[in-house]
Amino acid sequence: MPAVLRKAAFFAILLLFWQGACSLQFCPDYLLPAPWQVVASLAQGWREGTLLYGLLISLKRMGIGFGLAVLLGGALGLLVGRSGPLAQAGRSLLMGLQSFPSICWFPFAIILLGLQEGAIIFVAVMGAVFSAAIATRDGIGNLPRNLTGAALTLGARGWRLYTAVKLPAALPGIITGLKQSWSFTWRSLMGGELLFGNLGLGHLLMQARDLGDMPRVLGVMLTILLVGMIIEQGLFARLERAVQRRWGLESN
């Protein structure tokens, strides 16, 4: 059976279980709505335009937040990738900050930037910037010694050594790291939107909760899940494979 069919079958079985649980009526349908109720609620959200609007707002924030995280993280990674005691101290601070829950930056961001768009994006950036920095620094730190040696003996110097050799050489590893950074950004953004609902999918989710509208809650949750899966598997995994193929790193 082809992989696509296998996956479809798996999801169909999940749906069946869900429907089955509803039909047996363990609990009332305002607590556990049937799949079709969730779909209907999604369809309604789509018709009203709220769903699409929320989605676009969240994606825009993601784009900005992730873009900033990659730029800042990349620069930070290059900085702490240098040798010397300062860079070493920087690395241990990075490790610490990576495990620091990004949503805890929210109060800080609100005081700093006010209770608005900037604060939400700030939290999204903080979710990913450190893992992007670590991915960059690991990618560049683990290059084969001969590769940089060859570049140096061919006359590569200074920033050109980075742009022309180290970054491209480390790209496969960096992309794998960025895939993870992306999911960190997504989580942080949703956290931010939930806490301070100002449009976006997280806000829709909170609205649905305020209305006690379980089908809508599940519908938005499903949307968030799908967006995550599509971007991670559809975009990043594809990009990762393409780069690995070009770099000759494929296992086959």
Partner 1 sequence: MERVLSAEASSAAYPAPLRTGEAPGQAAEGRRPWRSVVGRQGKAEAPEKLALRGIVKSFPHRRGRLVALEEINLSVREGEFICLVGPSGCGKSTLLRLIAGLEKPDAGEISINGQAVDGPGAERAMVFQENALFPWLTVLGNVEFGLAMQGMGKRVRRARAMEYLAMVHLAPFAHHYVHELSGGMRQLAAIARALAVNPAVLLMDEPFASLDAQIREMLNAELLRLWAETGKTVLFVTHSVQEAVRLADRVVVMTYRPGRIRAIIELDLPRPREEGDPGVVRTRLAIGRHLREEVTRALQEERNHAGRT
Instruction: State the nearest-atom distance from the C-beta of 165 to partner 1, in Å.
Output: 7
Kindly list the residues in this chain that would bind partner 1 in the complex (CB under 8 A): 144, 146-147, 149-157, 160, 164-165, 168-169, 171, 246-249
CB of 134 to partner 1, least distance (A): 22
In the bound state with partner 1, the residue whose beta carbon lies nearer, of 126 and 165, is 165
Cβ proximity to partner 1, 78 vs 169, nearer residue: 169
Q: Least Å distance between CB 58 and partner 1?
A: 34
User: What are the residues whose beta carbons fall under 8 Å from the beta carbon of 140, sequence distance 6 or more?
Assistant: 77, 78, 81, 162, 166, 167, 169, 170
CA atoms within 13 A on the CB side of 20: 6
Smallest separation (angstroms) from partner 1 to the CB of 173: 13
28 vs 144, beta carbon nearer partner 1: 144
Q: What Å distances lie between residue 243 and 137, 161, 249, CA to CA?
A: 19, 20, 8
Nearer to partner 1, 68 or 175 (CB): 175
Cα dihedral 82→88→90→96 (10° resolution): 130
State the minimum distance, in angstroms, from the CB of residue 133 to partner 1: 22
Which DSSP category does 156 fall into? -
Closest CA to 57 of 171, 150, 167, 193: 193
In terms of CB distance, is 6 or 157 closer to partner 1?
A: 157
